[in-house]
Amino acid sequence: MKMINKEDLIGQLKEKGLKITPQRLAIINALVENRDAHPGANLIYTEARKKAKRVSLSTVYATLKDFSENGLIKQLEFDRMENRYDGNLSEHINLICKRCGTIIDYNLPPTIEPKDIARKAGFVVTDARMEYSGYCRDCLKRTK
């Protein structure tokens, strides 16, 4: 399971010629510390502020976008709900609770081969998104 960590992220910034700024370090910290929560931009903003006072929401958005586009993290898009960010880069399904918004990782052995898709549909896969939504254990309990 390939999970983001501080050193890797900083290393990747250097590799790609991106500058190491206090804001980016604070955002990286927030991302790594909350990687299991699949945080949204606002959580990252709040957490990053605790460490480095000088971070704006614009910067958080720009940075998360940059990171996603460079493959450092993965963006989970929604329309009404805030986008969420995922530091688990292995093939997995995100289990998204419809009631409370919790996102749980569900690891699985890779079964579908991008190669087959390229051959059969002439489509080159660069990003995957697999999500099941429904109700998490806690929310199921609460109903009873």
Q: Which residues bind DNA (CB under 7 A)?
A: 18-24, 40-42, 54-59, 61-63, 65, 79-83
55 binds, among its own copies, DNA, none (CB under 5 to 8 A by kind): DNA
Please say which residue, 20 or 125, places its beta carbon nearer to its own copies. Answer: 125
Residue 103 CB, shortest distance to its own copies, in Å, is: 11
Residue 58 CB, shortest distance to its own copies, in Å, is: 16
- Is residue 134 involved in binding its own copies (CB under 8 A)? yes
Please say which residue, 26 or 72, places its beta carbon nearer to its own copies. Answer: 72
DSSP label at 2? -
Residue 10 CB, shortest distance to its own copies, in Å, is: 27
The structure tokens 């996102």 sit at 103
Q: Which residues contact 116 (CB under 8 A, 6 or more apart)?
A: none
Residue 5 CB, shortest distance to DNA, in Å, is: 19
Residue 63 CA to residue 86 CA, distance in Å, equals 14
- Is residue 104 involved in binding its own copies (CB under 8 A)? yes
Please say which residue, 11 or 42, places its beta carbon nearer to its own copies. Answer: 42
Give phi and psi for 96, each to the nearest 5: -110, 120
57, 83, 89, 101: residue in contact with its own copies (rule CB under 8 A): 83
Closest of 62, 47, 57, 51 to residue 22, by C-alpha: 51
Residue 10 CA to residue 140 CA, distance in Å, equals 40
Cβ neighbours, 10 Å, residue 88: 18
Terminal Cα distance for the chain, rounded: 35
- Is residue 77 involved in binding its own copies (CB under 8 A)? yes
